[in-house]
Structure 1
Amino acid sequence: MQEEKATNRWIVVFGAVLIQLCLGAVYSWSLFNAPLIELHGWEASGVVLTFSITIATMSVFTIIAGRVQDKIGPRWVATAGGVLLGLGVILASQATSLWQLYLCYGLIGGAGVGTAYVCPLATCVKWFPDKRGLISGIAVAGFGAGALIFTPLINVFLASSGVSQTFVYLGIIYLIAVSIGAQFLKVPPDGYVPEGWTPPETTSGTNQTDFSTGQMLSTPQFYLMWVMYLFGCLAGLMVIGLAADIGVNLVGLTAATASTAVMIIAIFNATGRIIWGTLSDVLGRITSLIIMYILATAAMFLMSYITMTFATFLILCSLIGFCFGGFLALFPSLTADYYGTQNLGTNYGIMFLAYGSAAIVGPIIGTAVPFQHAFLIASVLCATATILTFFTKQPKAPDQAMAKRKAA
């Protein structure tokens, strides 16, 4: 079936990127740490935990939203996510205790992020079977660029209005923008094929069979991929979630310079999603992942070993952000390659739990031990993921696997 004339698939991408830009502002959380500590006198570790709760809640609701959008479509699910995110952040402006901050920003806001996040990914992949790596990269690049776009805006709001009013302004922006972007999301018709593209009869590394969630969970490849995703995201979230704190406390930067560094890291995070997604269409997902894990291993080791200047801090953190962006681009594509697109919302939602787990563990490690020790732990985990990548291969289709078990 050819593409419907009434639908330009790039319009879907526009809506996806608009949504992800707002969701990705969560990566600017480190900018709120110092103002909240100063305003309320809270412990730094307690404030930092908000970021972990937000990402962990996001990962859980990605599964729930993925299952719902697989059944009813992405438009209203993403809209609901925008409403939850906006309301959660607005309510956080009234928080006078940490548990209220966790509830409003971490749980309600995080639920909104997770509800909206999976919809653009699952939808765009279906519209672009011919450019799966590239389009996954673009779809999540907005998430990485969110911190870049919102960091200067947040700084202006903080300087002029304080942290509480900043939450109000941001909540209104998120609610409106995500709800608008959601209206552009639409699944392609059954049997859709992009105009001018002929699906190959067989594609190396790509499974033409759609796995149910239960079938996916019965394959050992899923667990290898999940652990690999966990280790890569742990390193990335450790650096991104604590970037401003690392810059100020370890490198000796001013708060303003650290904010600039956060923006630069966000640029590499966003561009890494597009570049690695594009490269994976050429080199293959596994080869690209091997390169990324090697780079992340080296960068985290150097951060643990050398005395960092502003330049080395920026280079190494940007490299981590660049690879982290690639992980978020390639794992949706790899999940679609191995397990099909019919149940991608639910299947990738479960895969995405690795990201949520990393969001809890990464920043906790980063604040529980000296930074250099945390970086070394992350380096070892990335090296382990490099090894695991060599054992990852395309799973057999469910009927083939069943036949093999019966023959045995």
Structure 2
Amino acid sequence: MLSTTLQCLAIVCTSLSAGGIFVFPLLVSAFIEHLGLTQSQLSTIALAGMAGQYPFSSLVGILSDRCGPRFCSLLAALMFFAAFGLSALEISSAPEHSERSNTAVSQRLTVYFAMAGLATVLSYFSFVFSATKTFTRYFTLASGLTMSLFGLSPLFLSYLGSNFFSDPTTGTLDVTRFLQFLAAFAGVAHLFGACALTVPSTPATTSPSDTTDIPDERSRLIEREISSECTTGTDPRDKSTLELLRDLNFWILALYMVMILGACEMIMSNVGTIVLSLPSELVQTVAIKDDQSAAFQVKILSIANTVSRLLIGPFADFASPVFSYEHLQGFTTVRKHHISRIVFLSGASSLLALTCSWMAFGAQTRHDVWLLSVGTGITYGSVFTVLPGVSCSIWGMQNLARNFGILTYSPFVGTTLYSYLYALIVERHSPKGTACQGRICWESTFIFCLGTSLAALAMSAILWRNWSGRT
């Protein structure tokens, strides 16, 4: 009982401390003013943190299966401590109010945030699989709650940053102290996880009731053949990696993820500069502070992301239960199947299209950006919530982790493309030596995102038709 309590506490601590890369918008103002970094350099650093989660996701999954969540948590602790600690040292040692961008500093910060991105995926695999492999009777609930806690991490960390590491009069964030806190908090939390995150070991013995089902040399041949066929996996959906890559529908789904998740992660990384580019609205004749505006958007993104996972996950399980396969029964579901899970992908692309339309044609002040944060958070959380179920229904359970790992390379590609598109457009409209101001900084970016969101909607309709009755 004590070990289970410690494990649950470790899951909470590691998941809440793992979202440091998502509070990057809080750091943007200081990076511009203190280090003199350009928009392209800021986008590169943010991209390194976001994209650093993906290149090694398949390898981290294998590492988690073979070495367990404790080892992943230990590696995450070391990398979080080094990444945020070195970033704090970099900023504290830089000269005050640099007049020109320092290429060497931006390159080192890019490396540090890439390390933080890798630490994030190590952390994610450690607490999610520790929970799901321990509480197998509540698999969906365990995974949903841990993912939701992870989604709350940026909100929790931004709250701490705004309330304990900011000047109470000006609202300016003390970036050095905040990064030092992130290094200590994430490092200690994941060291605790390295001690407490466990998974049950396979029992060495079987009960007498179980031994009756184990075939031996006296069992009838037909029974042994059926038992062997059922346990070795005869699901016709199981495919090799090569067969998976030959599936046209796989590439349609991957391109959908490039367009939707790539755009979402670009927005999540750059919402701070989007807010700063717009004029403040006066509230009781007091202008909203830059850091407070960025922190507010991070909080909204985190809340929307978390709430969407908590609500859409259970609803999808009820309305669109995942198809399982059994040798004697074929494809079955635990409950009646009402709608296709592709409906949720279509809804996510439609919502992102509406969000981009608002930014392209409606938003005028910083107060208007909250709709962007809400739409982006819901879209991002919804897609990641239903994606494992879609993958399991189409390609089976046996290679689910491998298939999901391959699919996660799509947002890595999308984040890279969309982030540099955003940076190039901002750079084009930035006066030399000053930050870009006004809607012109990102208006064409959101028009482009609107077009790709509508294209993704069309792709989801194609998948809906091709996978009719299977998702």
TM-score interval, smaller chain: 0.7 to 0.9
CA gap 1:310/1:111 in 2 versus in 1, 3 angstroms: closer
| Aligned residue type for 2:250 | F
**1:42-57, aligned counterparts within 5 Å?**
42-57=37-52
2:27 matches 1:32: yes
2:330 matches 1:274: no
TM-score, normalised with respect to structure 2: 0.71
User: Which of 233, 249, 254 is equivalent to 1:226?
Assistant: 254
User: Distance in 2 between the 1:101 and 1:245 partners?
Assistant: 18
Cα deviation, residue 7, structure 1: 8.6
* Cα deviations by residue, 1:209-228 (Å, 9 ceiling, x for unpaired): 65554554343333222222
Question: Where does the alignment leave 5 or more consecutive residues of structure 2 unmatched?
Answer: 95-104, 204-234, 281-287, 321-340, 426-440
User: Which of 245, 256, 265 is equivalent to 1:217?
Assistant: 245
On the 8 A contact 2:300/2:373 being kept in 1, the answer is no
In structure 1, the residue matched to 2:264 is 236
User: Distance in 2 between the 1:85 and 1:278 partners?
Assistant: 32
In structure 2, the residue matched to 1:265 is 301
CA gap 1:308/1:177 in 2 versus in 1, 3 angstroms: same
In structure 2, the residue matched to 1:177 is 189
On the 8 A contact 2:131/2:146 being kept in 1, the answer is yes
**1:77-226, aligned counterparts within 5 Å?**
77-95=72-90, 97-103=105-111, 105-125=112-132, 135-155=142-162, 156-157=164-165, 159=167, 162-187=174-199, 211=239, 213-226=241-254
Sequence identity percentage? 20
User: Distance in 1 between the 2:354 and 2:173 partners?
Assistant: 41
User: Distance in 2 between the 1:233 and 1:254 partners?
Assistant: 29
**1:304-323, aligned counterparts within 5 Å?**
304-323=360-379
* Cα deviations by residue, 1:65-96 (Å, 9 ceiling, x for unpaired): 11222333332123212321222111222225
User: Distance in 1 between the 2:393 and 2:7 partners?
Assistant: 21
CA gap 1:139/1:30 in 2 versus in 1, 3 angstroms: same
261-270 or 117-126, larger mean C-alpha shift: 117-126
CA gap 1:13/1:232 in 2 versus in 1, 3 angstroms: farther
Q: Give the SS at the match of 1:42.
A: coil
- Structure of higher CA gyration radius: 2
In structure 1, the residue matched to 2:410 is 354
Q: Give the SS at the match of 2:107.
A: helix
Question: Where does the alignment leave 5 or more consecutive residues of structure 1 unmatched?
Answer: 192-206, 398-408
Q: Give the SS at the match of 1:60.
A: coil
User: Distance in 2 between the 1:250 and 1:293 partners?
Assistant: 26
* Cα deviations by residue, 1:154-203 (Å, 9 ceiling, x for unpaired): 23325498323322221111111123235554445679xxxxxxxxxxxx
User: Distance in 1 between the 2:453 and 2:116 partners?
Assistant: 30
User: Distance in 2 between the 1:13 and 1:338 partners?
Assistant: 32
In structure 2, the residue matched to 1:254 is 289
User: Distance in 2 between the 1:315 and 1:236 partners?
Assistant: 13
2:62 matches 1:76: no
Cα deviation, residue 360, structure 1: 2.0
Cα deviation, residue 29, structure 1: 0.3
On the 8 A contact 2:258/2:415 being kept in 1, the answer is no
In structure 2, the residue matched to 1:65 is 60
**1:326-345, aligned counterparts within 5 Å?**
326-345=382-401
311-320 or 172-181, larger mean C-alpha shift: 311-320
User: Distance in 1 between the 2:402 and 2:13 partners?
Assistant: 22
On the 8 A contact 1:78/1:179 being kept in 2, the answer is yes
* Cα deviations by residue, 1:234-257 (Å, 9 ceiling, x for unpaired): 221222212222122135353123
CA gap 1:90/1:211 in 2 versus in 1, 3 angstroms: farther
On the 8 A contact 1:226/1:354 being kept in 2, the answer is yes
Highest RCO, 1 vs 2 (Cα 8 Å, sep ≥ 6):
1
User: Distance in 2 between the 1:248 and 1:114 partners?
Assistant: 30
On the 8 A contact 1:18/1:142 being kept in 2, the answer is no
User: Distance in 2 between the 1:7 and 1:368 partners?
Assistant: 51
| Aligned residue type for 1:245 | T
On the 8 A contact 2:344/2:383 being kept in 1, the answer is no
On the 8 A contact 1:90/1:171 being kept in 2, the answer is yes
TM-score, normalised with respect to structure 1: 0.80
| Aligned residue type for 1:157 | F
On the 8 A contact 1:122/1:341 being kept in 2, the answer is no
User: Distance in 2 between the 1:18 and 1:220 partners?
Assistant: 41
